[in-house]
């Protein structure tokens, strides 16, 4: 009997005992293609020798130093690398230990910024429905997934939500992408006016929505319009790239493809590649300056932030991500993955949409392709797909509640950036077989 409170009680999970490249091996001798990078984490695969060597080298220097007493070379080097890669204007880094921590820190930075500059009346957070920003209380409150929020609603801070940019379901037949983006921007502005133009502190969004929608990117100039509205009302724009960032969509930062710069940007997952828990918030000069010239501190902190071994792992991961062939492979293999999915599943009566960027792809499952009607949620199609995929030696990331937190199913794919063409083809083959088997059952 296990003494672990697992995510799902009573499930008989296989035991991982080894991993190499894009594969994980279990104690029964089975091998699985890590087609989802866990949860879009293992961007360089498993047991990457350069990352392991960097971690070992750091262990020989210093393994832990609390950040209220010391900084370390490796943490400083990591911050410098991230700033050099980031969109111009994101000039400082706050290191944390994961995605939820990063979002919590960004929210507190936003609030403290307005306190520091004398606008303490600003308190409202606006995000989007069907978003996911983490599982800690502040991050969960910010996220717009109804199912995840439901039982915790009484203890969640007040937040507000507007429509996601979800063209497959929400763009009207006669609407152009530009008009759709305009409509969403108008809705955001109306919410700001409703709450009070001097009362809103931040708008939070994922550039490409991950877990809750399945690799849904924006249309047209949506984020440019959002940036303009935030600027108009003095609101901070927080972009959450915990899942979609660090090269996942074909550029180091997903927002690079939108032509804007947020005030705060969160990263994690691919930042450390799963070798150690780590994340970060990148912040603008104006936020840093407000702290520096005001109270002189950021009133926040966790025990393990800036952990030297985690920083060493991330430092090497980021160094590898900068190599031209890595992003080139993400783009090339992402195109191959999309083409393969289109060929294998595009004509399926049960696949409504295949979407994404780079090595971040989503497949939305429907009961009726013409009407986009989802399956009855009691059938738990996403759970069956996961089970069938594992039986075929494929890890993927299926989720339910795609449409409203209850209805809808999708599968998210986020394989390591080192993947090769024949391995892409194996993912497509195994996923198609798993989807067909799950629906047939």
pLDDT digits (tens, 9 = 90+) for 129-156: 999 999 999 999 999 999 999 999 999 9
- CATH number assigned to the domain with residue range 52-321, chosen from the 4 options 3.40.50.970, 3.40.640.10, 3.40.50.1000, 2.30.110.20: 3.40.640.10
Name the residue ranges covered by the structural domains of the chain: 16-34+323-440, 52-321
pLDDT of amino acid 220:
93
> What pLDDT digit, counting tens, does each position of 5-37 carry?
999 998 889 999 999 999 999 999 999 999 999
Given a cut of 90, is residue 284 above it in pLDDT? yes
Mean pLDDT, rounded, of the chain: 97
User: What is the distance between the alpha carbons of residues 264 and 92, in angstroms, rounded to a whole number?
Assistant: 10
**Mean of the pLDDT values across residues 194-218?**
98
Given a cut of 90, is residue 99 above it in pLDDT? yes
Tokens of 256: 């690079």
Q: What is the CA radius of gyration of the chain?
A: 21
pLDDT of amino acid 1:
81
pLDDT interval class at 392 (50, 70, 90): very high
Is residue 91 within 8 A of residue 82, CB to CB? The reply is: no
Closest CA to 178 of 193, 197, 165, 189: 165
pLDDT of amino acid 10:
85
Tokens of 405: 């937190």
Cα of 122 vs its chain's centroid, Å:
27
**Mean of the pLDDT values across residues 92-109?**
98
Tokens of 123: 């308190």
Q: What percent of the chain has pLDDT over 90?
A: 99
Range with the poorest average pLDDT among 2-11, 160-169, 335-344: 2-11
**Mean of the pLDDT values across residues 419-431?**
98
Domain 16-34+323-440 in CATH 3.90.1150.10: yes
Given a cut of 90, is residue 103 above it in pLDDT? yes
Given a cut of 90, is residue 441 above it in pLDDT? no
> What pLDDT digit, counting tens, does each position of 405-418 carry?
999 999 999 999 99
């Amino acid at each position: 009997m296990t003494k672990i409170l697992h995510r799902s009680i009573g499930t008989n999970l296989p035991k991982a005992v080894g991993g190499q490249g894009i594969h994980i091996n279990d104690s029964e001798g089975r091998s699985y293609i890590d087609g989802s990078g866990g949860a879009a984490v293992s961007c360089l695969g498993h047991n990457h020798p350069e990352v392991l060597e960097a971690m070992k080298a750091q262990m020989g220097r210093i393994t832990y130093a609390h950040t209220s007493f010391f900084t370390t070379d490796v943490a400083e080097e990591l911050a410098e690398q991230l700033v050099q890669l980031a969109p111009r204007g994101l000039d400082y880094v706050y290191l944390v230990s994961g995605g939820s921590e990063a979002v919590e820190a960004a929210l507190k930075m936003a609030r403290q910024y307005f306190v520091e500059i004398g606008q303490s009346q600003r308190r409202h957070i606006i995000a989007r429905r069907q978003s996911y920003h983490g599982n800690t209380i502040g991050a969960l409150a910010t996220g717009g997934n109804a199912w995840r929020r439901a039982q915790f609603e009484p203890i969640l801070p007040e937040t507000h939500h507007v429509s996601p940019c979800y063209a497959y379901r929400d763009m009207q037949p006669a609407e152009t992408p530009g008009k759709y983006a305009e409509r969403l921007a108008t809705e955001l502005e109306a919410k700001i006016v409703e709450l009070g133009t001097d009362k809103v502190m931040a708008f939070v969004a994922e550039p490409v929505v991950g877990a809750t929608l399945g690799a849904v990117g924006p249309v047209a100039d949506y984020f440019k319009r959002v940036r303009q509205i935030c600027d108009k009302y003095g609101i901070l724009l927080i972009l959450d790239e915990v899942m979609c960032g660090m090269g996942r969509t074909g550029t180091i930062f997903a927002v690079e493809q939108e032509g804007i710069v947020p005030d705060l940007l969160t990263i994690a997952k691919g930042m450390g590649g799963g070798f150690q828990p780590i994340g970060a918030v990148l912040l603008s000069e104006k936020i840093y300056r407000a702290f520096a010239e005001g109270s002189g501190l950021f009133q926040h902190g966790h025990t393990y932030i800036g952990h030297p071994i985690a920083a060493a792992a991330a430092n090497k991961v980021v160094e590898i991500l900068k190599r031209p062939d890595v992003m080139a492979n993400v783009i090339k293999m992402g195109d191959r993955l999309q083409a393969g999915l289109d060929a294998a599943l595009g004509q399926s009566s049960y696949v409504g949409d295949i979407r994404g960027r780079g090595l971040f792809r989503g497949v939305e499952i429907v009961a009726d392709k013409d009407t986009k009607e989802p399956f009855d949620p009691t059938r738990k199609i996403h759970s069956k797909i996961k089970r069938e995929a594992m039986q075929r030696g494929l890890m993927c990331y299926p989720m339910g509640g795609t449409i409203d937190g209850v209805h809808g199913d999708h599968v998210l794919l986020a394989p390591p950036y080192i993947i090769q063409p024949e391995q892409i083809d194996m993912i497509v083959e195994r996923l198609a077989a798993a989807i067909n088997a799950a629906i047939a059952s």
